[in-house]
Structure 1
Amino acid sequence: MANTTYDVIVIGGGPGGYVAAIRAAQLGLKTAVVEREHLGGICLNWGCIPTKALLRSAEVYGHMSHADNYGLWAKDFGFDIKKVVERSRGVSKQLNGGVGHLLKKNKVDVIWGEATLTAPGKLSVKAPSKSAMGGKPVEQPKGALGPGDYAAKNVIVATGARPRVLPGLEPDGKLVWTYFEAMVPPAMPKSLLVVGSGAIGIEFASFYRTMGAEVTVVEVMDQILPVEDAEIAALARKRFEKQGISIRTSAKVTKLDKGKDSVTVTIEDAKGKTDTVTVDRVISAVGVVGNVENLGLEKLGVKTERGCIVTDGYGRTNVKGVHAIGDVAGPPMLAHKAEHEGVICVEKIAGRDAHPMKKELIPGCTYCHPQVASVGLTEKKAKEAGHEVRVGRFPFVGNGKAIALGEPEGLVKTVFDAKTGQLLGAHMIGAEVTELIQGYVVAMNLETTEEELMHTVFPHPTLSEMMHESVLDAYGRVIHM
C-alpha cells in the first residue's frame, strides 16, 4: 500500500468534504477523502441537485399548462414520471463524475470505505456495509484506495446528516417516504401528505402539486417555512393554498393506519381535535440529524450536542486535530454553509488568516413555486435583538420585468437598523429570488448601509430593481409604488 500518512484526511465526500479537500490540496497539504458511497454526498446525489432537476421539470410542465397566458397554445401534453426521474438522476450522475475529476486534478486521494477514529490522528477504514438506500454495498471505484489503517495530523469529520425519524412515522420505503423515495417515485401518486413545512417538505409539496397530485402539508409550528420572516411565510401560504395545497399549521400527525396501497393519517390540531386524511403516500420531512455514530468520537472524547459535533467558528472541536464541518457540525444544514466552513477550516489548519464563520450571513433558499430566499434577521428577530428598525417593501406587481415574465406576485422586504442604516436582513418571495438574494448577501458582508445601496445603479428592466426600490421604501423614497 502507498504511504498512508496525510496532513489532512476528510471523512465524507459531500459538498463540505470535497471542497475542504480541494482547498487543502491547493494550500500544499497532502490530503485524502474517505467516502463510502458517492462523491458529492447527499446534496449532489439525493438532495439539492436532483430536487432542482425535478422542480425544473415541474416548472416547465406548469408553464405548459397555462401557455394561453402567453399567447401560446399547447395540446396533448403530459409527462412520463419515469423520464422525469431519469433526467434528475442523470444530472446527479454527471456532477458526481465531475467531483471525482476535481479531486484527481487536485491530487486528492480517495479512500473508499467507512472510517472510524481509533486514536488521535489514526483512522481505520473498512469496506462499505450498504448504500444509503439500504441496498448492496457500493463497489470501490477505479483508482480509489481501499480499507486499511491511515494517519493524519488533522482529521475533518464531514459525514453529513440523514432524515430524522419520529416514532410512529417510521419510513417503510413504500407508503411512507423520506426524501430518498420521494425523488424516485415509481409512479405518480394521486394524493400525498407531507409532514413538515421546512425547505425539503415545501419543495416536495410544490413539485407533486404542480404535477397534479392532491397535496396536504402538516406543520407543528404556527407558520409554514418556520425559519422565514412571518410576512413572507404568510404570502407563501396564500400562494400555495391558491394552487390547491391544503395546509394545516399548529397540527401534528398522531397516527398512521396503513392499507394495501394507501395511508389513513390522523391529524391533531392545537386544541386536541382530531380528524383523518387518506392519501396514497406520506412524505416525512421533519428535519435531519447528524451522522455522528460509529466514528469513534466517544472514545476520543469529542463533544456532541443534540446529535451534532460542537465546533468553534473555525471547525475545531474540543479535541486537538479533530475538526467538523457541514451538517454534522450543526445548523444551518445547508450545502453552501458546509462548503464555506470547509474552506475556513483548512485555511486555519494551514496557518492562514481565516475569518470565522458568521452564520447570520448565510442565505437560505427554498425552490418551490414561488421561490423563497432570505438572509440575516427577520423583522421579528431584529426587534427582539433590540434594534429599532426601518422596513422597506416592494411588490413584484410594481416591476416591469416581473409583469413581462407573467410573474406579478411576490415581495422584496428589507430590514434596516434605524439608527445606523445597517442592513440587518432581506427576505423575498417570487420568481428567481434564489438568484437575487446574493446581492443582499454581498452587501451585508461588506457592511453596506442604506446610503450605498440607494446610490447603486440597478439595470433596467430586471427583477433586481425591486431590491433597490425596497431599500428606497424603507426611507420614504420609493419611486415606482
Structure 2
Amino acid sequence: VQWIRGEGLLEKGKKVTVTGADGKKETHEAKKAVVIATGSRVKGLPQIGLELDKNIVLSSDDVLVAEKAPATMAVIGAGAVGCEFADVFASFGTKVSLIEVAANILPIEDADCSAELAKAFKKRKIDVMTGAKISNVKVTKTGASMTVEAGGQTQTLEVEKVLVAAGRAPNVEKIGLEAVGIAKSERGFVKINEKFETSVPGYYAIGDVAGNQMLAHKGSREGHVLADLLGGQHAHLVNYKNIPSATYCHPEVASIGLTEQQCKDQKLDYKIGKFPFSANGRARTSGETDGFVKIIRDAKHGEILGAHIVGAHATELIHELVVARENEFTVEEIDLAVHAHPTLSEAIGEAVLDSLGKMLHA
C-alpha cells in the first residue's frame, strides 16, 4: 500500500490530484477504481446561535482533549453521542443538562429502551429534557446561556460549556464530485448502489460519506466487501437491515432490527417477549440489575423482527441476536440453544420464552 499524504481532488478518468503540505501537486491514475471514503464531520447549530468554537461550544472531538471537566454542561442532542458524553461527564462530577428536540432520548431506539435509560440518567441527577425547544442563546468568553422550553416549563439555563451532539455531516465539499459528475442523494450523501458504485463508472463510495448508518462497523464491513468485489472474489453484500446499534453509556443500550413502533407502523402481526435483568442471577450477583432484554417476533412464524437490550454489557450481548437474524433463526431455535448459568445471556433465552408465553424465572 502506497500512502500519499495530502489533500485530494477527484478528476475525470479515475484520477486524483493530491496537494501536499509543501503546495506541490501530483496526479495519480487508478487502474481499476477510485474509492471515496472521506467520512463525516461534526456540525454545530448555527440556526440557534451555537457555532462550534473549541472554547465554550464544543464538538464530540473537542471534549476528548478538554483539560478538565466543567462544573456545568449542556449537551444538545440525545442520540448515542450525546448520551455517551452526558454519562461520562456526569461521572466526572459535572452537572449535566441533556436536551433533545425529539420526544425521547435515543430517538432511533425502541421507546422502552429510551425510557429505561432516561430513568437511569435521572437517578444519577442528569437533567433530561425532551421535546425541547432552545432559544435566546448567548455565548460569552466564560460560558453560555439559553432559554429551554420542555415538559410545559420554560427555564433559563446557564452553563460553563455546551456540547453540540446534534449529528454529523458527510464530507462531500471540495473533493471534486461535481467536476467528475458524481451524484448525491437527497440527503447530501454520495449516491451508491448495492455494490457501492457511484453514478460514474470506476468511482465507488463507502463509509459515512455514502449514507446508511453512520457507524464505524458499518463502514468497515463495506470496505471488506468492496475489496472482495474489486478483487473478483465472491462477496455477500451488506445487509443494512441487520447492522447493530450500540450506545456505550451506563446502562448500555444495543439493538438490532425493528422497534416496536416500526412494527406498528408497518402493521405487522407481532409478539413481545421481555425479561428484566433484576431477575437474572448473574446480574444480581454483580450488582448490575438495571435494564432488560426485549424480543419482538413475528406472531405466526417466530421470525425475530427486532431485539433490544438495556443493561450491563448490552453491546456484547446483542451479537447473539445479530447472528440469529442474519441466519434467519426463529425464536424457537434460540430457545434450543442452551445458555450457561449463571450468565447475562440467559436473559435472552428468557425473553425468547416470554415471547412464546413460556417464561420460567420472572
TM range (shorter): over 0.9
Match of 1:119 in 2: 12
d(CA) in 1 for partners of 2:90 and 2:148?
20
- 1:166 aligns to 2:59 (yes or no): no
Instruction: Tell me the amino acid that sits aligned with residue 124 of structure 1.
Output: T
Structure 2 segments unaligned to the other structure (5+ residues): none
297-306 vs 369-378, which moves further:
297-306
CA positional deviation for 1:380:
1.2
Native 8 Å contact 1:113 1:147 kept in 2: no
Native 8 Å contact 1:112 1:147 kept in 2: no
1:173 to 1:446, Cα distance in 2 relative to 1, 3 A = same
CA positional deviation for 1:207:
0.2
Native 8 Å contact 2:43 2:59 kept in 1: no
- 1:384 aligns to 2:265 (yes or no): yes
SS of the residue corresponding to residue 323 of structure 2 reads: helix
- 1:150 aligns to 2:40 (yes or no): no
d(CA) in 2 for partners of 1:277 and 1:356?
48
Match of 1:336 in 2: 217
Match of 1:9 in 2: none
Structure 1 segments unaligned to the other structure (5+ residues): 1-107, 130-136, 138-145
CA positional deviation for 1:182:
1.0
RMSD of Structure 2 on Structure 1 (CA): 1.6
d(CA) in 2 for partners of 1:370 and 1:127?
45
d(CA) in 2 for partners of 1:217 and 1:310?
34
- 1:426 aligns to 2:307 (yes or no): yes
CA positional deviation for 1:376:
0.5
d(CA) in 1 for partners of 2:303 and 2:267?
14
2:170 pairs, out of 279, 282, 290, with: 290
SS of the residue corresponding to residue 165 of structure 1 reads: coil
CA positional deviation for 1:234:
0.5
Identity value in percent: 41
SS of the residue corresponding to residue 323 of structure 1 reads: strand
CA deviations 1:141-188 (Å, max 9, x no partner) are xxxxx9521111201111100012221110111111001111111122
1:237 pairs, out of 118, 128, 131, with: 118
- 1:480 aligns to 2:361 (yes or no): yes
d(CA) in 1 for partners of 2:136 and 2:309?
36
Structure 1 or 2: more helix by fraction = 1
Instruction: Tell me the amino acid that sits aligned with residue 119 of structure 1.
Output: K
d(CA) in 1 for partners of 2:171 and 2:310?
32
CA positional deviation for 1:353:
2.6
Match of 2:181 in 1: 301
CA positional deviation for 1:261:
1.4
Match of 1:275 in 2: 155
Q: How many residues align?
A: 358
2:248 pairs, out of 347, 360, 367, with: 367
d(CA) in 2 for partners of 1:260 and 1:178?
17
User: 1:39-438 counterparts in 2 under 5 A?
Assistant: 108-128=1-21, 148-152=26-30, 153-167=32-46, 168-269=49-150, 274-305=154-185, 306-438=187-319
Poorly superposed stretches of 4+, deviation over 6 Å: none
SS of the residue corresponding to residue 466 of structure 1 reads: helix
Native 8 Å contact 1:315 1:344 kept in 2: no
d(CA) in 1 for partners of 2:20 and 2:137?
37
d(CA) in 1 for partners of 2:280 and 2:136?
46
Instruction: Tell me the amino acid that sits aligned with residue 303 of structure 1.
Output: A
Instruction: Tell me the amino acid that sits aligned with residue 298 of structure 2.
Output: D
d(CA) in 1 for partners of 2:151 and 2:170?
29
User: 1:443-458 counterparts in 2 under 5 A?
Assistant: 443-458=324-339
CA positional deviation for 1:270:
7.7
1:128 to 1:160, Cα distance in 2 relative to 1, 3 A = farther
d(CA) in 2 for partners of 1:128 and 1:468?
56
d(CA) in 1 for partners of 2:338 and 2:4?
50
CA positional deviation for 1:410:
1.0
CA deviations 1:17-38 (Å, max 9, x no partner) are xxxxxxxxxxxxxxxxxxxxxx
d(CA) in 2 for partners of 1:128 and 1:190?
40
282-291 vs 147-156, which moves further:
147-156
CA deviations 1:450-473 (Å, max 9, x no partner) are 111110011111101101110001
SS of the residue corresponding to residue 221 of structure 1 reads: coil
d(CA) in 1 for partners of 2:151 and 2:177?
40
CA positional deviation for 1:334:
0.2
Native 8 Å contact 1:179 1:285 kept in 2: yes
d(CA) in 1 for partners of 2:205 and 2:213?
14
d(CA) in 1 for partners of 2:216 and 2:298?
29
CA positional deviation for 1:283:
0.2
Instruction: Tell me the amino acid that sits aligned with residue 14 of structure 2.
Output: G
Instruction: Tell me the amino acid that sits aligned with residue 258 of structure 2.
Output: L
CA deviations 1:53-95 (Å, max 9, x no partner) are xxxxxxxxxxxxxxxxxxxxxxxxxxxxxxxxxxxxxxxxxxx
SS of the residue corresponding to residue 183 of structure 1 reads: helix
CA positional deviation for 1:123:
0.7
CA deviations 1:234-261 (Å, max 9, x no partner) are 1110110111000111113223212331
